Chains A and B, each alone.
Chain A
Amino acid sequence: MKSSVTEILGCEYPVIQGGMAWVAEHNLAAAVSEAGGFGIIGAASAPADIVREEIRKCKALTDKPFGVNVMLLNPNADEVADIVIEEGVRAVTTGAGNPAKYMEKWKAAGVKVIPVVASCAMAVMMERAGADAVVAEGMESGGHIGSTTTFALLPQVVDAVKIPVIAAGGIADGRGMAAAFMLGAQAVQMGTRFVAAKESIVHANYKEKIVKAKDIDSTVTGMSTGHPVRCLRNKMTREYLKMEKEGVELMELEKLTLGSLKRAVIDGDVVTGTLMAGQIAGLIKSEESCSDIIKGIVSGCEKVIGEYK
């Protein structure tokens, strides 16, 4: 299944794995790329030498292209921006800000640049700065979110720019992928679905929470602080939302979430950890290999589109 995005990324299927902090490490990224999708290592706030190591470990597992997500709020972002060039990474996606200052050197080095955007104006500015594509990410997504839904944001971004648009947020199966294509997307990016993949190093407790999640099990913390995060409801979110309602200081709120994603991903603490997951978690019923996930979503998408011709 080809599209303009598979051309840019050099992969077989227009299916990209999101660059989730802690979750998107080399094993997952390599498994996704090996399966014909496009795997991404999430640099998040990892030290620069760890990011380089992750890239090298990923290369050892696959000859296929993969990418790195650069979290622009990370104080190491400058260093990570250089590492992706030195290591010859195929593409970067960027989150949490404006990647314009790195654009020139990435382009000069042949690194494809794909900013994650949450509005049309941002998409247009990124296109003008030289982006190869954008990810239009709706607020159904897990983790840090914007405020517009995929269904509303995607067609508007598609109309606003000429570069290809990748849909993210609320997609976990072939129907979602087909719908995204109908709205003008050239590829999809999935996060939650890959958190629960067999090759994902996420703790079994966390994966079980996703597999057991129902449609209404996600909630959003931090609406009042300007940094909304979607995650599955648990003791942490209950306490957080209660404190948020009471108008507790940001410093106090941050105590709850300090290290809480690592606790969930690595230690399997599903009580006080942050179980970042999208609204679509309820659709995910089992832990499958990346290859099964990608082949399943692509064939599902083709079937749905075929049936409605």
Chain B
Amino acid sequence: MFDKLKEIIAEKLGAEVDEITEESRFKEDLEADSLDLFELVMAIEEEFGASIPSEDLEKLATVGDVIEYMKKQGIEG
């Protein structure tokens, strides 16, 4: 799942796949603004069939947080 997730993040945030790790913080490291995060969530939902309500957006600070969040929904990729 991580590879596919990295691809999506790289595409949506204009980042390099190689620079994305589980520790990468969306705002600080990948320079995402709030609109980018909405964009990213929509793309992740579409790809993985996850459901991320907007009130949970604040909890997702790092790439690892997203992976954990999806695991809780039973999505392991």
Contact = CB atoms under 8 A, between A and B. Distances in A.
Determine if chain A interacts with chain B: yes
Interface of A: 97-98, 100-101, 103, 118-119, 121-122, 124-126, 128-129, 146, 226
Contacts of B39: 119, 121
A59 B58 CA distance: 35
A129 B53 contact: yes
A68 B53 CA distance: 24
A75 to B, nearest CB: 15
Interface in B21-41: 33-35, 38-39, 41
A309 B4 CA distance: 51
A129 B54 contact: yes
B75 interface: no
Interface in B19-77: 33-35, 38-39, 41-42, 53-55, 57-58
A100 B35 contact: no
B54 A126 contact: yes
Given A121-B38, A125-B54, 5 more contacts: A97-B34, A119-B35, A119-B39, A121-B42, A126-B54
B62 to A, nearest CB: 18
A197 to B, nearest CB: 31
A125 B38 contact: yes
A100 B34 contact: no
A98 B42 contact: no
A128 B42 contact: no
A124 B34 contact: no
Given A119-B39, A121-B41, A121-B42, A128 B54 contact: yes
B42 A125 contact: yes
A124 B54 CA distance: 10
Contacts of A118: 35
28 contacts: A98-B34, A98-B54, A98-B55, A98-B57, A98-B58, A100-B53, A100-B54, A100-B55, A100-B57, A101-B55, A101-B58, A118-B35, A119-B35, A119-B39, A121-B35, A121-B38, A121-B39, A121-B41, A121-B42, A122-B35, A122-B38, A124-B42, A125-B38, A125-B41, A128-B53, A129-B53, A129-B55, A146-B35
Query: How many B residues are at the interface, by size bracket?
Result: 10 to 19
Nearest to A122: B38
Contacts of B55: 98, 100-101, 103, 129
A74 B41 CA distance: 25
A250 B41 CA distance: 29
A96 to B, nearest CB: 9
A129 B52 CA distance: 11
Contacts of A119: 35, 38-39
Nearest to A99: B54
Contacts of B35: 118-119, 121-122, 146
A134 B52 CA distance: 20
A229 to B, nearest CB: 15
A268 B50 CA distance: 52
